[in-house]
Structure 1
Amino acid sequence: MKKLATLLVLAIAITTASFASNGNGDKTTYNVDTKASKVYWTGKKVTGEHTGYLNLAGGEVFVEGKEVTGANLNMDVTSIEVTDLQGEWKDKLVGHLKSDDFFSAEKHPVANFKITSYNNDKVVGDLTIKGITNEVSFPAEVKVDGDVLTATGTATIDRTKWDIKYGSGKFFSDLGDNMIKDEFEIKFELKATASEGTTSSK
């Protein structure tokens, strides 16, 4: 009887271990679809706001089991666009945003966001703009459906932490209606697909 009980416990242990290692520890890399992904921005000033987007230059999202363990996203600063203006006014603003007053696109053509953790629908990571890195955190939603991963999230950041001081009331006085608010929004909309040969069990 004792021998039978021992065998039963052993069988249960083996079965449990088998289920635990089946899929729960899989590691998958999802490559960002640069055509289906965008980073939208909104900048506000005293008299209104401007909106636009920039393209992703590539990146990966790392998933273990069903949990996001990290990500590395590259943003093409040279692709910055304005969506609330047309013609000459749009061209002027795009040129200004690419200048050293704002994002220094020629000197720093790529911005980067590295996710260090994703828990309870909250993303924490390091955002690098103009070669300057600061930690940011914001709510986000990530969905994994087979080989496809989608993610959305909006961060509100203080641009002056990345040396974007143009029109800031913190650094310039008597701006009046020309003052630009320090905080602006960045909204990520990502789509990524699983890489072949990147899935493995622990």
Structure 2
Amino acid sequence: METTVKTKWNIDTAHSEISFKVKHMMISTVTGHFTDFDATVETENEDFINADFSFTAKTASINTSNKDRDAHLKSDDFFNAEKYPEMTFKSKSFDGNTLVGDLTIRDVTKEIKLDVDFNGIAVDPYGQTKAGFEATGSLNRKDFNLTWSAVTEAGSIVVSDTVKLLIDLQFIKA
């Protein structure tokens, strides 16, 4: 019986970013990111087809460059970082272009799809083998019980339901 050897890759946080964009009052876009996260990949091949991706971010690490807004996002109106300190992603499939997996935010798990560009593998000047990925996608925040909403006097929605995800990942071969 042949056993398949899996290669583990760990996130290089210095060269990775988990960010999002959401429309504010439907006229401007707010960008934010999570500063405390971890991710790993286990793969049997160099093209990462059907690799196992897993990701965790501390919800209290959300940063939109505005302390009041960040505090609101950490509250029960959105992430409730005290009760739900982590959001997680666990892949189900990766075909080289589309990453499908279960995203859990608060107490809700839903399948999401991300479009992925695998940028290849390279060895850095220190002899470490690295792999780079760029992933994009979107989700409806209300699907994950991030339901706070408000309307301006003029009838504009304050925060869009659609959240765009922009994820840049670099992994180091273990």
Per the shorter chain, which TM-score range?
Answer: 0.7 to 0.9
1:149 corresponds to: 131
Mapped to 2, the partners of 1:120 and 1:33 lie a distance apart of: 20
* 1:129 and 2:124 are equivalent in the alignment: no
Partner of 1:31: 10
Q: Does 1:92 align with 2:71?
A: no
Does residue 48 of structure 2 align to residue 48 of structure 1?
A: no
The CA deviation at 1:105 is: 1.1
Identity of matched residues, %: 25
Q: Could you tell me whether the CA contact under 8 Å between 1:97 and 1:103 is conserved in 2?
A: yes
Indicate if the aligned counterparts of 2:35 and 2:63 stay in contact, CA closer than 8 A.
no
CA distance 1:120–1:34, change in 2 (3 Å)? closer
What is residue 58 of structure 1 aligned with on the other side? 38
The one-letter code of the counterpart of 2:158 is: M
What is the aligned-residue RMSD (CA, Å)?
Answer: 2.3
- Which 5+ residue runs of structure 1 have no aligned equivalent? 1-20, 84-89, 196-202
Paired residues, number: 163
> What's the CA shift string for 1:78-132, capped at 9, x where partnerless?
111114xxxxxx1111111111111111111111111111114111011111131
Contact 1:73 1:112 in 2 (8 A): yes
Question: Which ranges of 4 or more aligned residues in structure 1 deviate by more than 4 Å?
Answer: none
TM-score normalised by structure 2 residue count = 0.84
1:141-174 Cα distance to aligned partner (Å, 9 max, x none)? 12233521111111110111100111178xxxx8
By percentage of residues, which structure has more helix? 1
Name the larger-Rg structure: 1
